[in-house]
Structures are given as structure tokens and as C-alpha cells.
Amino acid sequence: MPENIERMEDLSPRDKERLTQTGLEVGMKNRSGSFFQVDQEIRQIAALEEGIEVLSIQEALEKYRWLEDYSWNLVKKDKDQYTRFVADQPDPRGFVIIAKKRSRTVFPLQTCLFLAKTPVQHVHNIIIAEEGAELHLISGCASASYTKTGSHIGVSEFYVGRDARITTTMIHNWGDEISVFPRSAARVEENGVFLSNYVCMQPVRKIQMSPVADLAGKNSVARFSSIVVCTPGSHMDLGSVARLSAEGASAELVTRAITTGGTIISRGMIEGKTRYTKGHIECKGLILKDGIIHAIPEIKGDVVDTELSHEAAVGKIAKDEIEYLMSRGLDEEVATSTIIRGFLDVKIAGLPEALQNQIDAAIDSAEKSGF
């Protein structure tokens, strides 16, 4: 076990590979900036493009007094035991990212939260895209190959300004006995777009999260996309919530879930709070081996002229699909793998190529592990 990890380059080859599987570039190639935290120690902060600022949360709150209005605003301190734990820490860790007015990142900005030795890693992050700005994030979260147990608690608050856009892709690569409790929320202003993608295809003891998007401005948009594989012994309680609070707001919640023996609870909630709003929930699950998928889609309309819908389907791979591919020359194992890849292949409109490539790479890694 290494005593000191100062940079990503200091990691063992095995752990570098674990980070690569979460979409991170150890050498920072084609990245606009980076944040790297090991346990509770911040090891790297870099912003490589104009218009982007990356700070530790302590430094940011000292530098910008106005940030106090953004801190613990969307996620309340007393939301649950996990937020209270983070709020009570005397030495907050995490990052603040600010995309300045009308700035555009050419390459994604990457953040890495790496759990090595500490029993509980905790962070509080604030991400702001000012008016007309566009920001792409790859958030890779992983534990070291030698870390057997531990917990990660992450609080994130996203602010999408008028005509701004945030795309965030979070890929997890934890361990069999790691428990994870993300708590996040977003506020989207007029004509703003918030795209949140979540991928977890490796073993984990427990994940429990339900990010919330408040579509507060006219014609604002949110889309949550989740791709998960739940292995034996894993428990995933996943969900997302969209509140359509302004005219013309729309939201889509899309989940692709596979269990190979673990338990998945897939939740989704869209509330139409004002007229001329639209929302749709889609959850599809495959049970490959003995496991559980419990889909709980909810829609709530508070007014006339809100259009909300949902669909959910859970089952196994159809035998005739396998037989068809086998008739085309594939053996049963390859035919099954091809069907699973197609099931997980959710192409996300507006997703930058670099982020889509990271999702594809995560699927490739899961396939090599036998899903």
C-alpha cells in the first residue's frame, strides 16, 4: 500500500487502470482541467482553458463571499444523516468549478475522487455555469485495488444559468465492500440544459442516491440517464427527480439496468408544477441471473396542460433474439453479449463525443468481466 499519492502518475499500474475505466486521463490528454482528491487530501487542481476556474471549496468560499448563497442551498444540510455528516465537518473538502459567462470548454474537465485508506471520504462540490456558458464534466470515482471497505459521501450542487449548459458524466468503479451515498441537486434557469449521466458496472456493496433537478426557468431542460450492472451482493437504490416549475420546461429520465444477482431499486419522479411542460420516464431492466429489479416510476401533475408519461419493463433476454443471432453464425455466448450491449447502448442526444466514448469504454470493460 503506497504511503503517499501526490499525483495520478504515482498510482500503481493497476489503480491507473481503475481510473481509466472511470473515464479519467491520468496524463490529462484532451482535458480542460482537473481536480484530484485522495481520501481527504486534495492533490491536484488545474484549469487549462480560459473562462474556467477550479478551486477547492475552502479556497473558493474565502475568495468569493457570494458563494455562501450557493452553498447548502439546493441540498439542505438537514436532508438526511449523510448531508448532516458532511455539513458538520470542520474541514470541508471538495471543489468549486465556475464556467464564466459565455465560456465554452473545448475538452471535458475531469474530477477524480479516490478512496485509498480513510474509512469515510466526504466532499461538497459546487458547479456553476454562468449565463451562456457550456461545461462538460467527467467525474471518475474509484477505490484503490487494495481498499476492501469504506464509504464515500458526496454532496454536489449544480447551477445552470440562463442559456447555459452543463453535461456531467459520472462513472463509478468501487469495490465489493464500499458504500456510496451521493447527494446532488441542480437548478436550471431559462433555456438552460442539464444532462446528467451515471454509469456503474462494477461491484459495490451499496449505492443510494436520488439527484433532483429544479427546472426553474422557461424552456429549461433536464435529462438523467443511468446505465448500471448489479452484481451478486450489490444493492443499488437509484433514482432521479425532476420538478417542472416553469412554462416550457421538459425532462426525461432514462434507465438501463441489468442484474446478475444483485438488487436494483430504480426510482423516477417527474412533477409537472406548471402548464406547457413535458416529462417522460423510461426504465428497462434485464434479469440475467437470480436477482431483483424493482422499478418505481412516478408522475404527478399539479395543473392542466402538463404532459407526463412513463414506461417500465423488466424481464429476461428473449429466446428468439438469441436464436436469430445464432442462425446468423454467432454462438450463444456471443449472441447474448451482443444483445446486452445493444440494450445498454443508450445514445444521448447532445452528449460530446469524448463523454460518449467514456460510456462506451465502461460497457467494454463490463463485457470483458462477463457483465
Q: What is the pLDDT of residues 7-55, one digit of tens each?
A: 888 899 999 989 888 888 888 888 999 999 999 999 999 999 999 999 9
Question: Is 194 in the same domain as 91?
Answer: yes
Beta bridge partners of 16: none
Query: Residue 168 and residue 86: Cα distance in Å, rounded?
Result: 22
Separation CA 315–CA 258 (nearest Å): 10
Q: Which residue has the cell 439546493?
A: 74
The total number of residues written for the chain in this structure: 371
Confidence of residue 1 (pLDDT cuts 50, 70, 90): very low
Q: Where are the alpha helices (DSSP H) in 221-294?
A: none
Which segments of the chain does DSSP mark as H helices, in order? 13-20, 57-63, 81-87, 319-327, 332-344, 353-368
> 66 and 153 share a domain?
yes
Q: Are residue 68 and residue 125 in the same domain, yes or no?
A: yes
Q: Are residues 14 and 84 in the same domain?
A: yes
The answer on pLDDT for 209 being more than 60 is: yes
Please give the tally of structural domains in the chain.
Answer: 3
Both 120 and 16 in a single domain? yes
Mean pLDDT (whole number) for 331-359? 70
The number of beta carbons lying within 10 Å of the beta carbon of residue 311 is 11
259 vs 370, residue with greater confidence: 259
Quick one: pLDDT band at residue 339, thresholds 50, 70, 90? confident
**54 and 65 share one domain:** yes
Residue where a domain stops, chosen among 209, 242, 260: 209
Q: What is the pLDDT of residue 5?
A: 81
Among residues 148, 178, 209, which one ends one of the domains?
209
- Does residue 122 surpass a pLDDT of 50? yes
Do residues 173 and 265 both lie within one domain? no
Could you give phi then psi for residue 183, rounded to 5 degrees? -135, 110
Same domain, 155 and 228: no
Give the per-residue pLDDT at 359.
66
Percent of the chain exceeding pLDDT 90 equals: 75
Beta carbons of 338 and 330 less than 8 angstroms apart: yes
Residue 284 has pLDDT above 60, yes or no: yes
Please, which pLDDT band fits residue 328 given cuts at 50, 70 and 90? Answer: confident
Interatomic CA distance for residues 138 and 367, integer angstroms = 21
Average pLDDT, the chain: 91
Are 245 and 348 part of one and the same domain? no
How many degrees, rounded to 5, is the angle at CA 332 between CA 328 and CA 333?
Answer: 120
Confidence band for 3, pLDDT divided at 50, 70 and 90:
low
pLDDT band with cut points at 50, 70 and 90 for residue 351: low
pLDDT for 2: 47
Residue 104 is given by DSSP the state B
Average pLDDT over residues 288-309: 94
Domain end residue (candidates: 167, 191, 209): 209
Query: Which range in 216-220, 290-294, 352-356, 363-367 is most confidently predicted, on average pLDDT?
Result: 216-220
Low-confidence winner among 146-160, 266-280, 321-335 (lowest mean pLDDT):
321-335
Domain span at residue 270?
217-316
| Mean pLDDT in residue range 282-287 | 92
Cβ-contact 355, 167 below 8 angstroms: yes
* Cell (9 digits) for 326: 445464432
Separation CA 11–CA 146 (nearest Å): 12
CB atoms within 10 A of CB 136: 23
- Does the structure show a pLDDT above 90 at 316? no
Q: Are residues 245 and 122 in the same domain?
A: no
Percentages of the chain per state (helix, strand, coil), in multiples of 5: 20, 45, 35
Looking at 116-120, 244-248, 306-310, 313-317, which range is the least confident one? 313-317
Statement to judge: residues 173 and 241 lie in one domain: no
225 & 139 share domain = no
Does the structure show a pLDDT above 70 at 288? yes
- Mean of pLDDT values over 68-77: 98
